[in-house]
Amino acid sequence: MSAPVLLLNGPNLGRLGLREPDVYGSTTLAEIETACTALAGELGLDLACRQTDHEGEMIGWVHEAADLGAGVVLNPAGWTHTSVALRDACAQLTAPLVEVHLSNVHAREPFRAHSYISPVAAAVVAGMGPEGYLAALRYLAGRLTTS
Ligand code: DQA
Protein backbone atom coordinates (compact mmCIF):
# COMPACT_ATOMS: atom_id res chain seq x y z
CA MET A 1 0.00 0.00 0.00
CA SER A 2 1.21 3.56 -0.77
CA ALA A 3 2.06 5.86 2.13
CA PRO A 4 -0.47 8.71 2.43
CA VAL A 5 0.81 12.28 2.10
CA LEU A 6 -1.14 15.54 2.17
CA LEU A 7 0.27 18.51 0.22
CA LEU A 8 -1.31 21.54 1.87
CA ASN A 9 -1.03 25.14 0.70
CA GLY A 10 -2.27 28.11 2.69
CA PRO A 11 -3.63 31.56 1.90
CA ASN A 12 -2.95 33.36 -1.37
CA LEU A 13 -1.08 30.39 -2.83
CA GLY A 14 -4.03 29.67 -5.13
CA ARG A 15 -2.95 32.87 -6.89
CA LEU A 16 0.55 31.69 -7.76
CA GLY A 17 1.41 32.76 -11.29
CA LEU A 18 -0.51 36.03 -10.81
CA ARG A 19 0.74 36.93 -7.36
CA GLU A 20 3.99 38.96 -7.08
CA PRO A 21 5.74 36.97 -9.83
CA ASP A 22 9.03 38.72 -9.04
CA VAL A 23 8.91 37.01 -5.61
CA TYR A 24 7.01 33.77 -6.28
CA GLY A 25 7.67 33.11 -9.98
CA SER A 26 5.26 32.35 -12.80
CA THR A 27 4.44 28.71 -12.04
CA THR A 28 0.82 28.18 -11.02
CA LEU A 29 -0.30 26.03 -8.10
CA ALA A 30 -2.00 23.68 -10.57
CA GLU A 31 1.36 23.16 -12.31
CA ILE A 32 3.08 22.51 -8.97
CA GLU A 33 0.40 20.01 -7.98
CA THR A 34 0.68 18.23 -11.35
CA ALA A 35 4.46 17.87 -10.97
CA CYS A 36 4.07 16.70 -7.35
CA THR A 37 1.43 14.14 -8.29
CA ALA A 38 3.70 12.71 -11.01
CA LEU A 39 6.67 12.47 -8.65
CA ALA A 40 4.54 10.98 -5.88
CA GLY A 41 3.52 8.21 -8.27
CA GLU A 42 7.17 7.42 -8.97
CA LEU A 43 7.98 7.47 -5.26
CA GLY A 44 5.05 5.26 -4.29
CA LEU A 45 3.27 7.95 -2.28
CA ASP A 46 -0.51 8.35 -2.17
CA LEU A 47 -0.74 12.15 -2.55
CA ALA A 48 -3.70 14.48 -2.03
CA CYS A 49 -3.25 18.19 -2.89
CA ARG A 50 -5.32 20.94 -1.25
CA GLN A 51 -5.27 24.73 -0.89
CA THR A 52 -7.34 27.02 1.29
CA ASP A 53 -7.55 30.65 2.37
CA HIS A 54 -9.46 29.60 5.53
CA GLU A 55 -7.47 28.75 8.64
CA GLY A 56 -10.09 26.48 10.20
CA GLU A 57 -10.28 24.40 7.03
CA MET A 58 -6.50 24.00 7.02
CA ILE A 59 -6.52 22.97 10.68
CA GLY A 60 -9.17 20.35 9.88
CA TRP A 61 -6.94 18.89 7.16
CA VAL A 62 -4.00 18.71 9.56
CA HIS A 63 -6.24 16.86 12.04
CA GLU A 64 -7.15 14.47 9.21
CA ALA A 65 -3.44 13.84 8.52
CA ALA A 66 -2.86 13.22 12.22
CA ASP A 67 -5.71 10.68 12.34
CA LEU A 68 -4.44 8.95 9.17
CA GLY A 69 -0.79 8.97 10.23
CA ALA A 70 -0.09 10.75 6.93
CA GLY A 71 3.03 12.69 6.04
CA VAL A 72 2.46 16.37 5.35
CA VAL A 73 4.08 18.91 3.02
CA LEU A 74 2.82 22.29 4.20
CA ASN A 75 3.31 25.78 2.86
CA PRO A 76 1.56 27.71 5.64
CA ALA A 77 2.10 31.01 3.74
CA GLY A 78 1.13 33.99 5.92
CA TRP A 79 0.02 31.71 8.79
CA THR A 80 3.68 30.72 9.18
CA HIS A 81 4.27 33.98 10.98
CA THR A 82 0.99 34.33 12.87
CA SER A 83 -0.73 31.08 13.75
CA VAL A 84 -0.30 29.38 17.10
CA ALA A 85 -3.46 27.41 16.27
CA LEU A 86 -1.96 25.90 13.11
CA ARG A 87 1.23 25.06 14.98
CA ASP A 88 -0.80 23.33 17.71
CA ALA A 89 -2.52 21.26 15.00
CA CYS A 90 0.83 20.37 13.41
CA ALA A 91 2.19 19.30 16.80
CA GLN A 92 -0.38 16.46 16.76
CA LEU A 93 1.08 14.87 13.61
CA THR A 94 2.85 11.57 14.10
CA ALA A 95 4.40 11.24 10.61
CA PRO A 96 6.95 13.82 9.42
CA LEU A 97 5.91 17.33 8.43
CA VAL A 98 7.96 19.31 5.89
CA GLU A 99 7.44 23.09 5.90
CA VAL A 100 7.97 24.57 2.43
CA HIS A 101 8.37 28.18 1.31
CA LEU A 102 8.85 29.13 -2.31
CA SER A 103 10.83 32.23 -1.38
CA ASN A 104 13.77 32.51 0.96
CA VAL A 105 11.88 33.92 3.92
CA HIS A 106 15.19 34.73 5.67
CA ALA A 107 16.22 37.14 2.93
CA ARG A 108 13.00 39.17 3.07
CA GLU A 109 11.23 41.36 5.64
CA PRO A 110 12.32 40.58 9.23
CA PHE A 111 8.80 39.41 10.24
CA ARG A 112 9.10 36.51 7.78
CA ALA A 113 12.14 35.08 9.54
CA HIS A 114 10.06 33.77 12.43
CA SER A 115 7.97 30.65 11.93
CA TYR A 116 5.52 29.20 14.44
CA ILE A 117 5.61 25.98 12.42
CA SER A 118 9.34 25.23 12.13
CA PRO A 119 9.78 23.94 15.72
CA VAL A 120 7.24 21.18 15.04
CA ALA A 121 8.48 20.38 11.50
CA ALA A 122 10.91 17.58 10.70
CA ALA A 123 12.45 19.70 7.92
CA VAL A 124 12.14 23.17 6.39
CA VAL A 125 12.71 24.14 2.75
CA ALA A 126 12.90 27.81 1.71
CA GLY A 127 13.98 29.58 -1.43
CA MET A 128 13.96 26.65 -3.87
CA GLY A 129 10.79 27.78 -5.66
CA PRO A 130 8.51 24.96 -6.87
CA GLU A 131 11.39 22.47 -6.59
CA GLY A 132 11.09 22.76 -2.83
CA TYR A 133 7.85 20.77 -2.93
CA LEU A 134 9.55 18.01 -4.93
CA ALA A 135 12.46 17.92 -2.49
CA ALA A 136 9.98 17.62 0.37
CA LEU A 137 8.28 14.63 -1.27
CA ARG A 138 11.64 12.89 -1.83
CA TYR A 139 12.49 13.45 1.83
CA LEU A 140 9.16 12.00 2.97
CA ALA A 141 9.48 9.00 0.65
CA GLY A 142 12.66 8.05 2.45
CA ARG A 143 11.00 8.25 5.85
CA LEU A 144 7.47 6.93 5.48
CA THR A 145 6.91 3.23 5.77
CA THR A 146 4.40 1.43 3.61
CA SER A 147 2.39 -1.56 4.69
C1 DQA B 1 5.60 31.97 1.56
C2 DQA B 1 6.34 33.03 2.38
C3 DQA B 1 5.40 33.71 3.35
O4 DQA B 1 6.11 34.69 4.11
C5 DQA B 1 4.28 34.40 2.61
O6 DQA B 1 3.36 34.96 3.53
C7 DQA B 1 3.60 33.50 1.64
C8 DQA B 1 4.38 32.55 0.86
C9 DQA B 1 6.50 31.33 0.48
O10 DQA B 1 6.10 30.31 -0.07
O11 DQA B 1 7.56 31.87 0.17
O12 DQA B 1 2.40 33.62 1.41
O13 DQA B 1 5.19 30.92 2.44
Q: Which atom of ligand 1 is nearest to the CA of 75?
A: 13
Alpha helices in the chain (DSSP H): 21-24, 29-43, 55-68, 84-90, 131-141
Between CA 52 and CA 9 the distance in angstroms is: 7
Looking at this protein, which amino acid is placed at residue 82? T
Ligand 1 pocket member 105 (CB < 6 A): yes
Q: Distance from the CA of 43 to the center of ligand 1, in angstroms?
A: 27
Dist. CA 97–CA 32, nearest whole Å: 18
Domains and CATH numbers, the chain: 3-141 (3.40.50.9100)
From first to last of its 147 residues, the chain has per-residue pLDDT tens of 789 999 999 999 999 999 999 999 999 999 999 999 999 999 999 999 999 999 999 999 999 999 999 999 999 999 999 999 999 999 999 999 999 999 999 999 999 999 999 999 999 999 999 999 999 999 999 999 765
Q: 97-101 and 123-126 as β-strands: parallel, antiparallel, unpaired?
A: parallel
